[in-house]
Amino acid sequence: MTSFRRARSEEQRAERRRDILETAAAMLDELPVAKISLNELSRRVCLAKSNVLRYFESREAVLLELLDAKIREWLGQLGAELDNGIDAAATAQQRADRLAAVLSASCAARPVLCDLMGNQAAVLEHNISTRVAADYKRAAIEHVQVLARHMRTYVPEFGEHDAERFAAATMLLVGATWTHSRPAPAMRMVYEEHPELAVLRIEFADVLRQLLEVLASGLLSRQGPSTIR
């Protein structure tokens, strides 16, 4: 481990924070969130744990900021994916179904994002200060608004209110579906030994797509019969 040198300027502090976040991101390419420890993060970034805590108040604060960055990255790329996957000439119902399919495939291609979202409420939002929590929640509201704008672009029939409802629910469903699609070893063994129980096993992309289809169809139906044709 190298000796610690205090960052003297805001630029140096920002660089040190980036190093920590990039190291945590690299670790998540190898390990699930549950296996990321502050001790190992400190070792890999070549700082004492106490020095990492000069820049982030906890392991959870590191991961929460990383989740924010991953969501921003995803939303920045999502528009092109939706452009390629949705036919603007299709019916509202067809476009809503394609929206669900593109969203589920897009999330499935980003396992680190899904793992962070799956651990958000149970892990990442604990052991942080109210300042960090408030900053993250303000960012989360912005993310929902950005996602809702994507929704309105491709399914304008939702309207502003329902687009935001769909976007917020999508964020929740990604995390919940990811968590339930990663059963513990004992559960995996049960599914293998008892095929009649395997019906309960969840395949992430498929189940997420189905849930989003049902949600989108329900929101469209509330607009009236003419909307879904």
CATH of the domain at 30: 1.10.10.60
Q: Are residues 117 and 182 in the same domain?
A: yes
Three-state DSSP at 203 gives coil
The pLDDT mean for the chain works out to: 93
Q: What is the pLDDT of residue 13?
A: 85
**How does residue 2 score in pLDDT terms, banded at 50, 70 and 90?**
very low
Q: Are residues 167 and 207 in the same domain?
A: yes
Q: What is the pLDDT of residue 226?
A: 52
Residue 172 burial (CB count, 10 A)? 12
Q: What is the DSSP annotation of 15-76? A: HHHHHHHHHHHHHHTTS-GGG--HHHHHHHHTS-HHHHTTT-SSHHHHHHHHHHHHHHHHHH
- Structural domain of 194: 58-228
**How does residue 32 score in pLDDT terms, banded at 50, 70 and 90?**
very high
Read off the pLDDT of each residue in 205-219 and give the average, rounded to a whole number: 97
Q: Are residues 80 and 27 in the same domain?
A: no
Q: Are residues 169 and 73 in the same domain?
A: yes
Q: What is the DSSP annotation of 67-126? A: HHHHHHHHHHHHHHHHHHH--TTS-HHHHHHHHHHHHHHHHHT-HHHHHHHHTIIIIITS
State how far the Cα of 101 lies from the Cα of 105, in Å rounded to an integer. 6
Read off the pLDDT of each residue in 177-196 and give the average, rounded to a whole number: 94
Q: Are residues 40 and 82 in the same domain?
A: no
Q: Are residues 75 and 143 in the same domain?
A: yes
Q: Are residues 7 and 31 in the same domain?
A: yes
| pLDDT tens digit sequence for 121-132 | 999 999 999 999
Domain holding 70: CATH number? 1.10.357.10
| pLDDT tens digit sequence for 72-121 | 999 999 999 999 999 999 999 999 999 999 999 999 999 999 999 999 99
Select from 56, 84, 103 the last residue of a domain: 56
Q: What is the pLDDT of residue 3?
A: 44
Q: Are residues 26 and 124 in the same domain?
A: no
Total structural domains within the chain: 2
Q: Are residues 5 and 98 in the same domain?
A: no
Read off the pLDDT of each residue in 147-165 and give the average, rounded to a whole number: 96
Select from 56, 72, 99 the last residue of a domain: 56
